[in-house]
Chain A
Amino acid sequence: MIHSNTETVPGKEIVQFYGVVSGSTVRAKHIGRDIMASLKNIVGGELKGYTELLQEARNDALVRMTEQAESLGANAVVNVRFSTSSIAQGAAELFAYGTAVRVE
């Protein structure tokens, strides 16, 4: 499965469109990480725990999107976009969407 955030897969030709596919996941923060983060909030710097958490979550969203594209018979997803929204206190939704296509 090829992913691309451009309208085409560079160097390849789109032969069929299957429509929008998407994947999302909602994650809550881990209490241990939260305590570490609130300490880091005093000193400043990177919140590594959160970086990892969001990366994992975003990968999950991508995997779900890919599964949907595969079930349609696509071999690539183009114009992939990401979006993040905090839907509740301490919880965030990570969303990935794109257009499933067949390329050659």
Chain B
Amino acid sequence: MDSTTEALINLGLPLLLLVATYFTGSMVERRHYLSIRARELETRQLPAITFRTPPRRWEISDSGLVSGSVVISVDYFKRFLAGLRQFVGGRVKSYETILDRARREAVLRLKAEAAAAGYAAVINVRLETARMANGRSGNGIAGLEVLAYGTGIKLRHGAP
């Protein structure tokens, strides 16, 4: 009797978590992508470019550093999928979307900060990714941090 309940807890709990996080994780991801796409459309007018020097025709009146960052976590289901992937190798799609979401979110926050400060464009945008290790074990992923930073630019003639 005792061993069956033990087995039920040992097997049932991870299984329950897998099923639950499959639904919550995909819901979180779908919503995030919707909001990313909407905000990317909204901020089309504010270009964030990776050029080191601005186009020569821009008449720059002011500049300053802007940044945006996000720490995003990997859900239980995605981690399980990635664990399975390690046996056969190949694309770990579940992690690819996490990184994609984090990078795009960081750039959007950079744009939001630039817009709030009144900048018309951001040049020399750089992206940096750092992995935050899990506190206890030290080898798991607690989260991925993506930082986007660049130089905000104000123009004499308004929009670029």
Contact = CB atoms under 8 A, between A and B. Distances in A.
Contacts, number: 124
Given A5-B126, A10-B153, A92-B132, A47 B62 contact: no
A92 B105 CA distance: 22
B70 A51 contact: yes
A16 interface: no
Interface stretch (B4-12, B24-32, B38-46): B24-32
Interface residues of A, number: 38
A54 B142 CA distance: 14
B65 interface: yes
Contacts of B128: 82-84
The B interface is mostly helix, strand or loop, or mixed, namely strand
A11 B76 contact: no
Contacts of B124: 5-6
B108 interface: no
Interface residues of B, number: 48
A101 B32 CA distance: 41
Interface of B: 17, 21, 24-25, 28-29, 32, 52-54, 59-65, 67, 69-78, 105, 123-124, 126, 128, 130-133, 135-136, 138, 142-143, 145, 147, 149-151, 153
The 8 A-B pairs with the shortest beta carbon distances in the complex, nearest first, are: A44-B75, A11-B60, A3-B65, A50-B71, A84-B130, A90-B135, A47-B71, A10-B60
